[in-house]
Homo-oligomer: A and B are copies of this chain.
Amino acid sequence: MTDTIVSSATREVVIGFDRPFVMIGERINPTGRKLLAAEMKDGDFSRVEADAIAQVAAGAHMLDVNAGIPLADEPALLARAVKLVQTVTDVPLSIDSSIIEALEAGLAVYQGKPLVNSVTGEDEVMERVLPLVARHGAAVVAISNDETGISEDPDVRFAVAKRIVERAADHGIPAADVVVDPLVMPIGAMGTAGQQAFRLIRRLRDELHVNTTCGASNVSFGLPNRHAVTGTFLTMAIASGMTSAIMNPLHTEVKTAVMAADVLSGADRDCMAWIAANRDPDAPAGEGGRRERRRRRPAAS
């Protein structure tokens, strides 16, 4: 059992084995969103606010917040976004930047225990990010690449993840506060991307006993009907042991897939969340009751 506990000022979320999968909303990220990037740079955060509210309404348990805009003051923008999102929602945040000063600015204003996204296995990055994570008592996403890049061999990526977990321990960060990202490649460009990810996720769980996350949308890049591919990737990753993902809960196929995986992993007790989400809103009150009774009958043989 490995529980990664993150929090806002008023709410705790636990990422852990045999618990409901944790959906981390991906939308607050100007990368590839020109309009959002332009608005944030101009000081208009109305879309950040709307995206935060919509993702939580759609079921996000946490939100990733990124303010990576070229030629902008990323530390100031990230701090402002973090503060704003914490005023309009109560879910814990993942503070997302590759710039240490931006992580520092985000952490300085954050209320609670966030996830810091991310540290890699590069020595210089570890030596800058891990002391910051330790000082703030945060949890951290560990990306399994190092100075040599991203290996195609899942066993090499496992070794990188193991090194980050060990280095984190040197800084006083327990393994339970390191959430490993196996790095998922687009399956359309690399046919072994799924098998690599599933194998690595399983080893990370069985041998390193850590929680895992990933940016899920990347796997379906360039394919038609891509949300179905992303949703299926998530269910297969959950079957392999993955415990959270940065994803878009507004895509129905993706969210439904995760909810069904919670049913099948046994994390959705008595299928309560599934039944509530799939109850026909137009049905009379008696209908939902009938459905709930029906599911308790034994199966026809």
Contacts and interface: CB of A to CB of B under 8 A. Distances in A.
Given A218-B299, A275-B224, A269 B191 contact: yes
From A233, A263, A279, A280, name the one whose CB has the most chain B CB atoms within 10 angstroms. A263
A32 B300 CA distance: 9
A105 interface: no
Interface string A174-215: 000000000001111101101100100000000000000000
Given A188-B271, A192-B266, 18 more contacts: A189-B296, A191-B269, A191-B271, A194-B264, A218-B299, A222-B295, A222-B299, A224-B278, A225-B274, A228-B257, A228-B260, A229-B264, A231-B260, A232-B257, A233-B260, A235-B235, A236-B236, A237-B239
Interface string A263-301: 111100111001100111000000000010011111110
A65 B271 CA distance: 33
Contacts of A239: 198, 235-237, 239-240
A297 B198 contact: no
A84 to B, nearest CB: 26
Contact of A260 (B198, B229, B294, B300): B229
From A186, A224, A274, name the one whose CB has the most chain B CB atoms within 10 angstroms. A224
A6 interface: no
26 contacts: A31-B300, A187-B271, A188-B296, A189-B296, A191-B270, A192-B266, A194-B263, A194-B266, A195-B266, A222-B294, A222-B295, A222-B296, A223-B274, A224-B291, A225-B274, A228-B260, A232-B235, A232-B257, A232-B261, A235-B236, A235-B239, A236-B236, A236-B239, A236-B261, A236-B264, A239-B240
A264 B299 contact: no
A45 interface: no
Interface in A134-154: none
Nearest to A221: B299
A263 B230 CA distance: 11
Nearest to A198: B239
Contact of A186 (B222, B278, B299): B299
Contacts of A240: 239
A1 B215 CA distance: 32
